Amino acid sequence: MTFANLQLIEPLQRAVATEGYTTPTPIQQQAIPHVLDGRDLLGLAQTGTGKTAAFALPILQRLAASGRRPHGDRAIAVLVLTPTRELAAQIGDGFGAYGRHLGYKHAVIFGGVGQNAQERAIRGGLDILVATPGRLLDLVQQRIVHLSKIEIFVLDEADRMLDMGFIHDVRRVISHLPRDRQTLFFSATMPPEAKKLADAILRNPATVAVAPVSSTAERVEQGVLFVEKNDKRPVLAALLETDTSITRALVFTQMKHTANRVAEYLQKRGIEADAIHGNKSQNARERALARFKAGQSRVLVATDIAARGIDIDEVSHVINYELPNVPETYVHRIGRTARAGKSGIAISLCGAEERQYLRDIERLIRQRVPAMDATALIEKARTLHATDAKTIHQQAQPRASQARQAAGESGAPRRASSGTPQPRGRRRRWRRP
Ligand code: AMP
């Protein structure tokens, strides 16, 4: 299967080739023909599956096929609603990359930053608007954005949108859209509330589903370290110092202040780390993300909302500093290390009071998360605690051979030798010491 088989027009084929894509991902193979046909779509897929191109490519093609000329000052034709600023920015980048030979104009609007630049972009004439709900409604109320001529509406990450309490905003946005439109609804999971919303806004949709939420988990090597709450920070530092295969780690905490404290603790120990969460300014978040993507920081400590949808290639490890109380969140988190078919490693630190969360997660993913041997790490952590930060910094750069040995001693999971998923049961999880 190639992009040409999907009947994509030449400028789009050239654009995906520039992106380095050779084969459409499963969601692209399934969704693109329906969207090109003009049908409504219910897509069960999460970020990381190639979902953005699955809707952006056929949308661009439909604009071209309708004879629409790029950004005359006509009304906006396409609206994509997405829960977070980072996702909005990524989707905007996607439209930019996939549409580079067509000339359609897109803009991205979200809250937390000044409105002027966004307003200018809109007034300049737009074909495609990517937005988070709050800022969009502000601009609609100020009569800066008009939604009455929308032809294609994409509701992205619907389940997350509902989790984040955006249901009323979403309904208000929908009330401004014309009834006669094409609607694409994407969600990673289908809780009853999302189903209700889908039923209300889709007309005779085609349904496509890829990588149901539990199967993402199968592609990730997982392990759990049972540690006391008070040992978590030194154990995390010890893990990062002994396991040099952890080249780029996304560490999740439940609370913003914990994210700050963990990042500060690691920095004190000479481990390059930044924190991102909703209380940080947009600039600070973008800076932290850029440093992480460029490999200048090895660790990004994030809360779920801040990390949602962040598309960073080559995250070697996801570390759950705390387990989420919503089991689906665990799957979203570990999905960050299994992008576009790659496999990754996820390690969770589980305190005594989090055992129930672990049981709920195991029920959802229908597998047990194997316990890793934490003894060596806890010992190392306690020594680290007793040593001063400077000495620790020197210890943090072990020679490769020592590091390999140390990583083995720590019981840390290893990446499977092949990048492709292997059948369960036969798959090597990691070498035990
Ligand atoms: P998404 O689910 O849209 O966030 O995409 C996840 C990642 O997969 C992004 O880094 C995309 O650039 C990448 N990607 C999307 N489609 C393809 C494809 N057909 N082949 C390879 N990579 C892709």
Going from the Cα of 51 to the center of ligand 1, the distance in angstroms, rounded, reads 7
For position 74, what pLDDT does the model report?
A: 74
Domain edge (last residue) among 164, 186, 209: 209
Considering the domain architecture, whether residues 189 and 48 belong to the same structural domain is answered as yes
CATH of the domain at 22: 3.40.50.300
Please tell me the total number of residues recorded for the chain in this structure: 433
Going from the Cα of 345 to the center of ligand 1, the distance in angstroms, rounded, reads 19
Considering the domain architecture, whether residues 103 and 240 belong to the same structural domain is answered as no
C-alpha 331/C-alpha 290 separation (Å) is 24
C-alpha 16/C-alpha 10 separation (Å) is 10
C-alpha 405/C-alpha 192 separation (Å) is 49
Domain edge (last residue) among 165, 180, 209: 209
State which ligand 1 atom lies nearest to the alpha carbon of 46: 2
Considering the domain architecture, whether residues 242 and 143 belong to the same structural domain is answered as no
Order of strands across the sheet that contains 249-252: 220-226, 344-350, 317-320, 249-252, 299-302, 273-276
Q: 221, 414 in Cβ contact below 8 A?
A: yes
Residue 314 lies in a domain: yes
For position 365, what pLDDT does the model report?
A: 82
Domains in the chain: how many in total? Answer: 2
Token representation of residue 251: 């560490």
Going from the Cα of 381 to the center of ligand 1, the distance in angstroms, rounded, reads 38
Considering the domain architecture, whether residues 230 and 369 belong to the same structural domain is answered as yes
Q: 249, 317 in Cβ contact below 8 A?
A: yes
Domain that holds residue 110: 3-209
| Among candidate residues 172, 169, 193, 197, the one with its CA nearest the CA of residue 183 | 197
Provide residues with CB under 6 Å of ligand 1. Answer: 21, 23-25, 28, 47-53, 311, 339-340
State which ligand 1 atom lies nearest to the alpha carbon of 3: 19
Q: Residue ranges of the chain with pLDDT lower than 70?
A: 71-73, 211-217, 308-311, 313, 338-342, 385-433
Considering the domain architecture, whether residues 185 and 55 belong to the same structural domain is answered as yes
Considering the domain architecture, whether residues 200 and 262 belong to the same structural domain is answered as no
For position 339, what pLDDT does the model report?
A: 64
Nearest residue CA, atom 15 of ligand 1?
50
- List all residues 6 or more positions away from 235 whose beta carbon is below 8 Å from its beta carbon: 225, 227, 349, 374, 377, 378, 381
Nearest residue CA, atom 18 of ligand 1?
21
Residue 432 lies in a domain: no
Domain edge (last residue) among 379, 404, 420: 379
Going from the Cα of 367 to the center of ligand 1, the distance in angstroms, rounded, reads 27
Considering the domain architecture, whether residues 343 and 368 belong to the same structural domain is answered as yes
| Residue 113: other Cβ atoms inside 10 A | 15
Nearest residue CA, atom 5 of ligand 1?
50
C-alpha 139/C-alpha 226 separation (Å) is 48
Instruction: Please state whether the predicted TM-score (pTM) of the whole model is above 0.75.
Output: no
Going from the Cα of 164 to the center of ligand 1, the distance in angstroms, rounded, reads 25
Considering the domain architecture, whether residues 238 and 156 belong to the same structural domain is answered as no
Considering the domain architecture, whether residues 235 and 162 belong to the same structural domain is answered as no
Residue 127 lies in a domain: yes
